């Protein structure tokens, strides 16, 4: 073990020690420093105290040492301070220090909320113990006396930080200290209890805090720096150091800990807000109790049990109370939750109609249901009713466009579904389907297929009729069908419509529910996953399928060649035969660009390259050719908010056709300028779908790759180099991932044979990975 006084322990040496030994080494060394500065017989009236993390006996590896030199006004205290502080700096430690009398420290604690938080953890290291005890008493007294002013400031500081950093429970790379529900909030809980406004935090909150401290220590030990963000590349190593199976288990436990701390601190702030309300002097009026449902009343801003409630004999009371609270935009009181958790009996199987109705009423409350469901979850009541829920609790979703863990995503989807209940004939099935659509995640296999099996058991236990159970199973099985087909396939291809009709068994009711579920699922994921353009595509697909089923008229096509004379100015540029024309018009979530030009091999790639050069992301595209003249229609979205200018685009297309615009070189330079477009992520993949291409396009190929500048241009140029014509394309980009599907036609009219497919696939993979030579399509 490190000697306790000399030589000084370095930050690296301390980081290698377990936390208790790290504290002992620091305390021993600091005690020696004060002993060197003040003779043994002259230590009355001076003390070295630890505050902050060292005061709590949890100093982080390579963290700051927070120290206060406390004195009673003695002369020469500056020399004593120098004798302590300089060796600390010389040893390479970061130091947050102050020299104060008891009165000065107490004044600081009462005026500065951040300094006050640190001083609340004051602990004697060496010197006059009575002086530090007096400092602790004065600090606590000052904190309690000025709580009415300091606590609102502290609350706003934490809320502002949460808005900036996010919630620990739902971040893929969480800030263990500053994210909401992180270490800082564990310290706030202690401060609130020391202000005597709330009780001591529950034991499980303390365990959650201790786990986060362990994760923080291992993170800093591995990275050898003072950072608290659990970045992706360090998660596996931290998990192994803590004896956890893998990084997903680590992230899930961090999420559970953060959500527990956030839940407890939220409840603590509600208690504080209630305690800080000033009441008029004199006799207190009795709090009004308003009946809400059988066995439940509203008391103040909470739902509590009625005096005649019998939780042990009333299995429906939990959901009835949750539904009443959400419907009134309230929360269940903590005491009521504890009573329900301790005494509520299991639900009968199948659920009685009254219980199922309460459950649906809870979900139908929309946004108000989210915090109430979290209450049920934190008290363990939700898992009792839905044992399958335990598998998705705080289950991380590694895709960057997911804002939430699986369980919270499902609750958010149900809340979004509550806003769509008037659009469907069976709102009850929509709400339950939204809540359970991803219940199969975390199991081996396709989560839609696994979820369909799980939801059959759940829906049967809930007491739904057999036909309704079958409908819920179909909803879960096909909840991704509409978004996937709409964004990756040609909506005007009859084979696309046939595929959807076959999957849903020709059932218009299922189509209606799947459409609403897709909207709820997308809204609960992120704006990147459910943009106005994607919503437009899905709606168009639903319209076409409904028309095929005879339940609706055929909607307007998503992409139709527009008349350049009607669009935003479409300048004509003289060419060798017919002019190049460009039209631009506003559509959902962007613009539609229509480019007309004499047909030639590789024309589609040239147009895609010009759009990329003008910082336009292509969302979908279609090509038609008549009498040797090609009309290409692109749905685009400006990457940096700049609306496309028809004249500039027309100039670029003509220059590219004439060979005076080096597209490959210019796009390569743009990629170097914007390093976020550099290749990263999983290797690209190519897949062929013959059965889903009809008409002039006899082959469908799909490329999944990391998005990068000019990706569509490079892919289509590779196809042109192989002698294939692109008749249509759908493009979707989510985060750093792109999924591009191309409808291909061989000039000879024959399908692409196996040998050519191998060559095309190799060319596409090289283009997607950025390893192919710059294409030259002229």
Render pLDDT for 524-559 as a digit per residue (tens, 0 to 9). Answer: 988 777 888 889 889 999 999 999 998 654 444 445
Among the candidates 248, 275, 302, a domain finishes at 275
Strands of 296-299's sheet, edge to edge? 289-293, 296-299, 302-305, 331-332
Residue 137 sits in the same domain as residue 166: no
**Count of positions (residues) in the chain:** 778
Residue 24 sits in the same domain as residue 133: yes
Render pLDDT for 162-189 as a digit per residue (tens, 0 to 9). Answer: 888 899 999 989 999 999 999 999 999 9
Question: Sorting pLDDT into bands at 50, 70 and 90, what band is 761?
Answer: very high
Q: In the prediction, which pLDDT does 357 show?
A: 93
Alpha-carbon distance 146 to 110, whole Å? 6
Q: Can you point out the beta strands (E) in 478-563? A: none
Residue 597 sits in the same domain as residue 700: yes
Distances in whole angstroms, Cα of residue 496 to Cα of each of 205, 378, 485, 544, 659: 52, 44, 7, 10, 37
Q: Which residues contact 527 (CB under 8 A, 6 or more apart)?
A: none
Alpha-carbon distance 376 to 382, whole Å? 5
Q: In the prediction, which pLDDT does 185 show?
A: 93
Render pLDDT for 149-164 as a digit per residue (tens, 0 to 9). Answer: 888 888 888 888 888 8
Report whether pLDDT(282) > 50. Answer: no
What is the CATH classification number for the domain harbouring 218? 1.20.120.330
Q: In the prediction, which pLDDT does 775 show?
A: 63
* Structural domain contains residue 641: yes
Residue 42 sits in the same domain as residue 54: yes
What is the CATH classification number for the domain harbouring 113? 3.30.460.10
Question: Sorting pLDDT into bands at 50, 70 and 90, what band is 693?
Answer: low
Question: Sorting pLDDT into bands at 50, 70 and 90, what band is 223?
Answer: confident
Query: Which of 54-68, 453-467, 638-652 has the highest mean predicted lDDT (pLDDT)?
Result: 453-467
DSSP H helices, 568-624, are 603-613
* Structural domain contains residue 281: no
* Structural domain contains residue 117: yes
Question: Which sign, positive or negative, has the C-alpha torsion 510, 514, 520, 525?
Answer: positive
Q: In the prediction, which pLDDT does 326 show?
A: 95
Q: Which residues contact 149 (CB under 8 A, 6 or more apart)?
A: none
Specify the range with the lowest mean pLDDT, choosing from 249-263, 413-427, 493-507, 609-623. 609-623
Residue 126 sits in the same domain as residue 185: no
Residue 99 sits in the same domain as residue 165: no
Among the candidates 275, 295, 316, a domain finishes at 275
Query: Which of 58-62, 280-284, 565-569 has the highest mean predicted lDDT (pLDDT)?
Result: 58-62
Q: In the prediction, which pLDDT does 596 show?
A: 94
Q: In the prediction, which pLDDT does 353 show?
A: 92
Among the candidates 145, 160, 192, a domain finishes at 145
Alpha-carbon distance 435 to 423, whole Å? 17
Alpha-carbon distance 768 to 713, whole Å? 10
Residue 455 sits in the same domain as residue 590: no
* Structural domain contains residue 725: yes
Report whether pLDDT(4) > 50. Answer: no
Residue 526 sits in the same domain as residue 614: no
* Structural domain contains residue 331: no
Report whether pLDDT(11) > 80. Answer: yes
Strands 302-305 and 331-332: what pairing? Answer: parallel
Q: Is the pTM of this model over 0.85?
A: no
DSSP class of 285? P
Render pLDDT for 698-721 as a digit per residue (tens, 0 to 9). Answer: 788 999 888 777 888 899 999 988
Domain enclosing residue 37, as ranges: 11-145
* Helices and strands (H, E) in the chain, number of each type: 30, 16
Count of the separate structural domains present in the chain: 4
* Structural domain contains residue 283: no
Residue 134 sits in the same domain as residue 256: no
Specify the range with the lowest mean pLDDT, choosing from 211-215, 330-334, 570-574. 570-574
Question: Sorting pLDDT into bands at 50, 70 and 90, what band is 572?
Answer: very low
Q: In the prediction, which pLDDT does 620 show?
A: 77
Report whether pLDDT(677) > 50. Answer: no
Q: Which of 608, 617, 615, 424 is nearest to 531 (CA)?
A: 617
Residue 644 sits in the same domain as residue 745: yes
- DSSP string across 666-696: HHHHHHHH-GGGS--SSPPEEEE-GGG--TT
User: Percent of the chain, pLDDT > 70?
Assistant: 90
- pLDDT top residue among 42 and 416: 416
Specify the range with the lowest mean pLDDT, choosing from 351-365, 489-503, 764-778. 764-778
Q: Which residues contact 368 (CB under 8 A, 6 or more apart)?
A: 326, 327, 329
Q: In the prediction, which pLDDT does 285 show?
A: 54
Q: In the prediction, which pLDDT does 574 show?
A: 38
Q: What is the mean pLDDT of residues 341-370?
A: 95
Specify the range with the lowest mean pLDDT, choosing from 6-15, 201-210, 383-392. 6-15
- DSSP string across 252-279: HHHHHHHHHHHHHHHHHHHHHHHHH---
Specify the range with the lowest mean pLDDT, choosing from 374-378, 561-565, 772-776. 561-565
- DSSP string across 615-630: TEEEEEEEEEEETTEE
Q: In the prediction, which pLDDT does 676 show?
A: 44
Average pLDDT taken over every residue of the chain: 87
Secondary structure class of 3 (helix, strand, coil): coil
DSSP class of 577? S
Q: In the prediction, which pLDDT does 350 show?
A: 96
Q: In the prediction, which pLDDT does 374 show?
A: 97
* Structural domain contains residue 263: yes
DSSP class of 168? G
Q: In the prediction, which pLDDT does 116 show?
A: 83
Q: What is the mean pLDDT of residues 400-415?
A: 91
What is the CATH classification number for the domain harbouring 404? 1.10.3210
* Structural domain contains residue 547: yes
Residue 728 sits in the same domain as residue 602: yes
Residue 26 sits in the same domain as residue 162: no
Q: In the prediction, which pLDDT does 734 show?
A: 62
Report whether pLDDT(560) > 50. Answer: no
């Amino acid at each position: 073990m490190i000697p306790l006084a000399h030589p000084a322990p370095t930050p690296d040496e301390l980081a290698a020690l377990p936390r208790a030994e790290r504290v002992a080494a620091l305390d021993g060394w600091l005690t020696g420093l004060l002993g060197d500065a003040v003779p043994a017989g002259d230590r009355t009236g001076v003390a070295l105290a630890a505050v902050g993390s060292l005061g709590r006996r949890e100093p982080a590896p390579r963290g700051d040492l927070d120290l206060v030199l406390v004195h009673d006004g003695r002369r020469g205290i500056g020399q004593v301070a120098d004798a302590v502080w300089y060796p600390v700096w010389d040893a390479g430690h970061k130091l947050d220090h102050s020299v104060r009398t008891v009165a000065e420290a107490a004044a600081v604690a009462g005026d500065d909320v951040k300094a006050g938080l640190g001083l609340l953890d004051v602990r004697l290291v060496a010197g006059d113990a009575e002086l530090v005890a007096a400092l602790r008493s004065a600090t606590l007294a000052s904190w309690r006396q000025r709580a009415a002013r300091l606590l609102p400031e502290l609350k706003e500081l934490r809320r502002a930080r949460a808005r900036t950093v996010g919630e620990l429970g739902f971040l893929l790379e969480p800030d263990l200290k500053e994210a909401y529900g992180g270490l800082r909030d564990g310290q706030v809980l202690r401060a609130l209890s020391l202000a005597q406004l709330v009780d001591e935090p529950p034991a499980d909150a303390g365990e959650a805090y201790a786990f986060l401290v362990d994760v923080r220590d291992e993170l800093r030990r591995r990275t050898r720096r003072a950072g608290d963000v659990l970045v992706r590349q360090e998660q596996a190593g931290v998990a192994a150091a803590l004896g956890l199976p893998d990084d997903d288990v680590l992230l899930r436990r961090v999420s559970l800990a953060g959500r527990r701390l956030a839940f407890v601190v939220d409840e603590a702030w509600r208690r504080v807000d209630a305690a800080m309300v000033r009441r008029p002097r004199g006799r207190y009026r009795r709090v009004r109790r308003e009946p809400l449902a059988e066995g439940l009343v509203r008391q103040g801003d909470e739902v509590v049990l009625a005096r005649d409630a019998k939780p042990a004999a009333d299995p429906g009371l939990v959901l009835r109370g949750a539904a009443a609270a959400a419907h009134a935009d309230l929360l269940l009181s903590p005491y009521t939750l504890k009573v329900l958790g301790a005494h509520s009996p299991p639900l009968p199987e199948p659920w009685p109609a009254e219980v199922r109705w309460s459950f649906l009423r809870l979900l139908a409350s929309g946004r108000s249901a989210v915090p109430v469901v979290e209450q049920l979850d934190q008290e363990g009541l939700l898992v009792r009713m839905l044992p399958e829920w335990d598998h998705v609790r705080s289950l991380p979703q590694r895709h960057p466009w997911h804002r939430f863990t699986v369980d919270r995503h499902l609750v958010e989807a149900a809340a979004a579904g509550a806003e769509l209940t008037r659009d469907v004939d069976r709102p009850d099935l929509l709400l339950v389907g939204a809540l359970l659509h991803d219940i199969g995640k975390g199991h081996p296999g396709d989560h839609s297929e696994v979820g369909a099996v799980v939801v059959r058991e759940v829906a049967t236990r809930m007491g739904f009729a057999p036909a309704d159970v079958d409908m819920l199973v179909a909803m879960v099985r096909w909840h991704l069908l509409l978004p996937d087909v709409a964004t990756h396939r040609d909506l005007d291809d009859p084979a696309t419509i046939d595929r959807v009709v076959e999957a849903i068994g020709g059932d218009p009711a299922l189509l209606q529910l799947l459409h609403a579920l897709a909207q709820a699922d997308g809204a609960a994921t992120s704006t990147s996953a459910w943009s106005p353009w994607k919503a437009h595509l899905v709606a168009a697909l639903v319209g076409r399928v409904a028309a095929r089923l005879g339940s609706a008229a055929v909607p307007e096509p998503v992409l139709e060649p527009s008349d350049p004379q009607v669009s935003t100015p479409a300048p004509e540029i003289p060419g060798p035969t017919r002019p190049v024309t460009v039209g631009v018009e506003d559509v959902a979530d962007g613009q539609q660009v229509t480019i007309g030009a004499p047909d030639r091999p590789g024309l589609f790639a040239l147009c895609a390259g010009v759009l990329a050069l003008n910082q336009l992301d292509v969302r979908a595209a279609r090509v038609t050719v008549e009498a040797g003249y090609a009309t290409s229609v692109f749905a685009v979205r400006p990457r940096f908010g700049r609306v496309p200018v028809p004249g500039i685009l027309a100039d670029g297309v003509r220059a590219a056709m004439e060979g005076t615009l080096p597209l490959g070189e210019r796009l390569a330079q743009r990629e170097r300028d914007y390093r976020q477009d550099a290749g990263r992520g999983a290797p690209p993949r190519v897949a062929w779908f013959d059965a889903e291409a009809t008409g002039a396009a006899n082959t469908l190929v799909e490329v999944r790759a990391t998005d990068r500048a000019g990706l569509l241009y490079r892919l289509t140029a590779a196809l042109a180099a192989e002698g294939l014509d692109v008749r249509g394309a759908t493009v979707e980009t989510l985060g750093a991932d792109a999924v591009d599907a191309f409808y291909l036609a061989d000039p000879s009219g024959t399908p692409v044979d196996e040998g050519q497919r191998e060559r095309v696939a190799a060319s596409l993979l090289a283009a997607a990975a950025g390893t192919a030579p710059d294409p030259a399509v002229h």
